[in-house]
Chain A
Amino acid sequence: MNLNTFYLAVAGLILAPLLGGLVAGLDRVVTARLQSRMGPPLMQPFFDVGKLMSKVIPPASHWQGMFVRWALIASLASDALLAAGGDVLMCFFVQAASACFVAMGAFSGNSPYSKIGAQRELFQMLAYEPVFLVAILCMAKAAGGFDAFSMMSGSEPLLFKLPLIVPGLLFVVLVKLRKSPFDISASHHMHQEVVRGIYTDYAGRDFALLEIAHWADVTVVLWICSFLWATGPLQMLATALITLFVALVIDNISARLTWRTMLKTVAPISLILAAANLVWLYLE
């Protein structure tokens, strides 16, 4: 590991959550515009986190603070890994660890809603993880290496070799952004059956840290999506923004699915498509 890699990792560590916060702000503005509303200022997510930081509230479990911090560190680590050109597969596993910690914290909470949320989160992971993993394997095969740099250094877009993983990636983005129809474990809007699902018991500072972890996760997922057209930084940014926009449109025009539909229908279809793409790459 040379010094350059180190600088890149630190930059990823700091910039990625900020970028994720901006994405969250953009998300709210665009969603509001799609609903012909004004929407909050772009910086609103940062105010939200700042506010949550300064709240005082007793915890719902002795363990949640620990799990939240572990989740945050894992999420930030996955950003740093990606920024330093590390192994994308390992980056995926580190990010999955973050999701595991969030679920563990929710399991140790005391509200039933939190536990339902944790259970649903697990089934959600079951649905998207194989798809995401196979999509990354496809990218690695097409790019000729598992590290982020070789995926970003292609002269022609990976998209042309990997058209079938696009629905899978979109599915992953929707789940990871906690958007309809896949906001199963942590419903974003009030008055729903699981209250706030997996996040119900997290509050105050813990919740703020979790929000930052979520931003970091979103950055990683969109970043990996942007490998599809990684011929230059601008193209990557455009790919990420287009993915985000499509996800927002889908969010606004769809209602929530159940985890059974997700696990039995959506996940198998996107997995089969992605696997077909993988096999096709090998036959070429």
Chain B
Amino acid sequence: MFGSFLKKSQIKSPWLMHFDCGSCNGCDIETLACLTPVYDVERFGIINVGNPRHADVLVVTGTVNRRNAVILKNIYDQMPTPKLVIAIGACGCSGGVFREAPNVLGGVDKVIPVDVYVPGCPAKPEAIMDAVVTGLAKLGKILEVA
């Protein structure tokens, strides 16, 4: 019983770490909008944390460039396992309009494995919340929780 409670709590308590990887701030505003009373992601037990050591889900907005790739990797490495990564917005998914810029590596998945992609420029808060729920379902499948 205790074991199943632990498994269940893994998908009931996703703590997000939001990393702005050089976004234009459009997606960041939409991400933070999820915390407002209109969307209120805390309903799902989601907390926005500032410390990768406490985070379960890494939410990345913006393109990855040569300067910040190492920081993105670092933060990802410092998160406890099991962990989820959600790439938000066109830039996060693929590099968006900056894809061909000389300093840009491309989407988040060039550096770290991504579990859920949220398209849009900017992505809608509903889509972001949906992505978290999808990601948790994926995690639940891995943990074999109904």
Contacts and interface: CB of A to CB of B under 8 A. Distances in A.
Interface of A: 28, 32, 35-41, 44, 46-57, 60, 113, 189-192, 195-196, 199-204, 207
Contacts of B6: 50-51, 53-54
A26 B80 CA distance: 28
Given A56-B81, A57-B80, A204-B80, A51 B9 contact: yes
A41 to B, nearest CB: 7
Given A57-B53, A196-B54, A200-B53, A35 B45 contact: no
B54 A203 contact: yes
Contact of A28 (B12, B42, B56, B79): B42
B50 interface: yes
Task: Please name the 9 residue pairs, one residue from A and one from B, whose CB atoms are nearest each other, closest first.
Answer: A50-B9, A57-B80, A190-B50, A55-B80, A203-B53, A47-B9, A47-B12, A51-B13, A37-B40
B48 A190 contact: yes
Interface of B: 5-10, 12-13, 15, 18, 37, 40, 42-45, 48-51, 53-54, 56, 79-82
A265 B89 CA distance: 47
A48 B49 contact: no
B37 A48 contact: no
19 contacts: A32-B40, A36-B37, A38-B40, A39-B40, A40-B43, A41-B45, A44-B13, A47-B12, A48-B45, A49-B9, A50-B8, A50-B13, A51-B6, A51-B10, A51-B56, A53-B9, A54-B7, A54-B10, A200-B51
B50 A195 contact: yes
Given A39-B40, A55-B80, A192 B9 contact: no
Contacts of A202: 53
Contacts of A47: 8-9, 12-13, 45
Given A189-B50, A190-B48, 11 more contacts: A28-B42, A38-B42, A44-B12, A47-B8, A48-B13, A50-B10, A51-B56, A52-B54, A54-B6, A191-B50, A203-B80
Given A47-B9, A47-B45, A57 B56 contact: no
B40 A50 contact: no
B130 to A, nearest CB: 17
B9 A39 contact: no
A55 B45 CA distance: 17
A255 B114 CA distance: 37
Given A37-B37, A41-B45, A50-B13, A60 B53 contact: yes
Contacts of A53: 6, 9
Contacts of B13: 44, 47-48, 50-51
Contacts of A200: 51, 53
Nearest to B49: A190
Contacts of A51: 6, 9-10, 12-13, 56
A196 B49 contact: yes
Contacts of B40: 32, 37-39
B9 A37 contact: no
A26 B12 CA distance: 17
A64 to B, nearest CB: 11
B80 A56 contact: yes
Contacts of B37: 35-37
Contacts of A40: 42-45
